[in-house]
Structure 1
Amino acid sequence: MSTLMPHKMIDNQPLYYVDQGHGPVVIFCHGLLASSAMWQGQIDKLSSQYRCIAIDFWGHGQTTTVPDNTQNLQDVAQQVLTLMDMLDIGSAAIIGHGSGGAIAAEVILQAPARIHGLVMLNSFVGFEPQVNCIKYQGLMAKIANEQTISAELAQTISGLFFSKEIQQLSQQDANLSTVVAQFNTQLTTYSSAQLAVLLNMANMAIFKRDTLEYVELLTLPTLIAVGLSGYLRTALESYLMHDSIDGSQLLHIEQAGHFANIEKPAIFNQHLIDFLSKVNFN
């Protein structure tokens, strides 16, 4: 049984988070259908030098509800800033995965002086391509109608999150095979009430506003990382953001999908450590 994490009341609802380590603050923002747990491999490496805050966003992990006034990712970004205030965090670096990268960008656009470094992993801050919206709407409708995620649907969803070579990689790495199995199981254990909240959050993420036109305002150090064997994000999107964000670094990770930080932790962790070592947290 998992240990209950600390939480703060944000807009009258509990937002759960991990708070581990000491030093300059690094905030981790997971993407859809993930949770703060996806960052444990990074937290283990960083917490000796950094204070790591990993959030369970609305409907994910231990955060099962959502405030009534949460309408879009700008609202979620403001809630991240409120959490920072409650934890007496003046400034930080922020790391976003998937839709968590879009949240991270919104945090910076709202409070640029408070964020000193940005890492986006398999994220895209432009409009979601229409073909993706249609595909995701179909999955969301199926979940909403059934009020559960069946084992079969969990297998389909899981296949989108890992590398196209995941079967081969899992045969070579028993730990990775366990992670895939755990993710499949996690998808099937959501209650109908939590799924309703998660679908609300998914709707905000999929139909987020286009902030690509604003990324030129992101003048802070930025690392853009993408798994080259994924289904959900493309290398082309990473090039587009890299070209738009002045001075950004680009990391392409071979044989990795949406969970590139889990599939190829050594590569991702080393680049992350190198990047953070050059961020001026003062």
Structure 2
Amino acid sequence: MSLQLTSKTINQHALYYADQGTGPAILFCHGLLASSQMWQSQITELAKQYRCIAVDLWGHGQSKTLPESCDNLQDVAKNLLDLMDALEVSNFAVIGHGCGGAIATEMVLMAPARVRGLVMLNSFVGFEPQVNCVKYQGFMAQVANAQAMPDELATSLTELFFSKDAIQTSQYNAALAQAIEQFNQQLTDISPSQITPLLKFANMAIFKRDTLESVEALTLPTLIAVGLNGYLRTPLESYLMHDCIDGSQLLHIDQAGHLANIEQADLFNQHLIDFLSKVNFN
């Protein structure tokens, strides 16, 4: 069942989000090419005791535009803080996936008193390795040339988001097969009007600034999670961030790739519940 979204006008554009549950607030930030829908399993579990707010970032999902004044992930972080103001949420924890983890970190650096806990799933806050930048630019060039998401590229990208043996495993795992099909469909459903905002956002995500040294100053509870069988992020990157952030927890998730929260939902949810129970929202 899909998350039901509504919108607020932020920076003169409609920013869509799901808002479920009551209690201390948690903001979910997906990564590049994903959407708020990736968090369904987490929200189903956590909304029992938390207010779960999951945003469709600019150019993604139902947030099909991008403000002209939004030029980098710091601007996105500012827009999300404005969303939390509009929702009258004074303090909250942030769970970020991929570049959503970098955006979450920018929020912490901007408003350290408001963000009480930070979870980064398959994220990296340093510069994107050059080899990745070239590869990702190649993908985006195909989208730009077609002014759509080509079916063949959608299939290739979907494989990159799941674990290396996910396609094989999905032959006898119906839930995984459905998740793979849904993610692929989400990519092919990207509308022509969405292409330009999405490409600009992708450029901002790929060429984000390096905040590794800045996060050394973070003192909030932090959980760093990484899928051990993925294509897009490496355990080494999670070690680097874990070393930089004093007191952070490191979670390695076996048999999972970039969307580890979907492939190993029960395990990830249990670690989230344990982590959030120790966050001081007062």
Work out whether the TM-score is over 0.5: yes
Aligned length: 282
Q: SS of the counterpart of 2:276?
A: helix
Q: What percentage of residue pairs aligned between the two structures are identical?
A: 66
What does 1:242-253 correspond to in 2, within 5 Å?
Answer: 242-253=242-253
Matched with 1:274 is 274
Matched with 1:183 is 183
Cα distance, 1:36–1:110 mapped onto 2, change above 3 Å: same
What does 1:169-180 correspond to in 2, within 5 Å?
Answer: 169-180=169-180
Could you state the TM-score of these two structures normalised by the residue count of structure 1?
0.98
Q: SS of the counterpart of 1:212?
A: coil
Deviations 1:42-91 (A, max 9, x none): 00000010000000000111100011100000000001110111100000
Structure 1 unaligned regions, length at least 5:
none
Cα distance, 1:170–1:91 mapped onto 2, change above 3 Å: same
Deviations 1:103-125 (A, max 9, x none): 00000000000001000000000
Please report how far the alpha carbon of residue 100 of structure 1 lies from its aligned counterpart in structure 2 after TM superposition. 0.1
Matched with 1:40 is 40
Matched with 1:20 is 20
Separation (CA, whole Å) in 2 of partners of 1:43 and 1:2: 11
Question: For residue 149 of structure 1, what is the amino acid of its counterpart?
Answer: M
Question: For residue 42 of structure 2, what is the amino acid of its counterpart?
Answer: Q
Q: SS of the counterpart of 2:226?
A: strand
Please report how far the alpha carbon of residue 3 of structure 1 lies from its aligned counterpart in structure 2 after TM superposition. 7.6
Separation (CA, whole Å) in 2 of partners of 1:91 and 1:182: 33
Question: For residue 6 of structure 2, what is the amino acid of its counterpart?
Answer: P
Cα distance, 1:182–1:274 mapped onto 2, change above 3 Å: same
What does 1:22-101 correspond to in 2, within 5 Å?
Answer: 22-101=22-101
Separation (CA, whole Å) in 1 of partners of 2:24 and 2:204: 30
Cα distance, 1:3–1:163 mapped onto 2, change above 3 Å: closer
Question: For residue 99 of structure 2, what is the amino acid of its counterpart?
Answer: S
Separation (CA, whole Å) in 2 of partners of 1:109 and 1:32: 21
Please report how far the alpha carbon of residue 4 of structure 1 lies from its aligned counterpart in structure 2 after TM superposition. 6.1
Separation (CA, whole Å) in 2 of partners of 1:149 and 1:71: 23
Separation (CA, whole Å) in 1 of partners of 2:194 and 2:3: 19
Q: SS of the counterpart of 2:90?
A: coil
Could you state the TM-score of these two structures normalised by the residue count of structure 2?
0.98
Matched with 1:150 is 150
Please report how far the alpha carbon of residue 2 of structure 1 lies from its aligned counterpart in structure 2 after TM superposition. 6.6
Please report how far the alpha carbon of residue 185 of structure 1 lies from its aligned counterpart in structure 2 after TM superposition. 1.5
Matched with 2:208 is 208
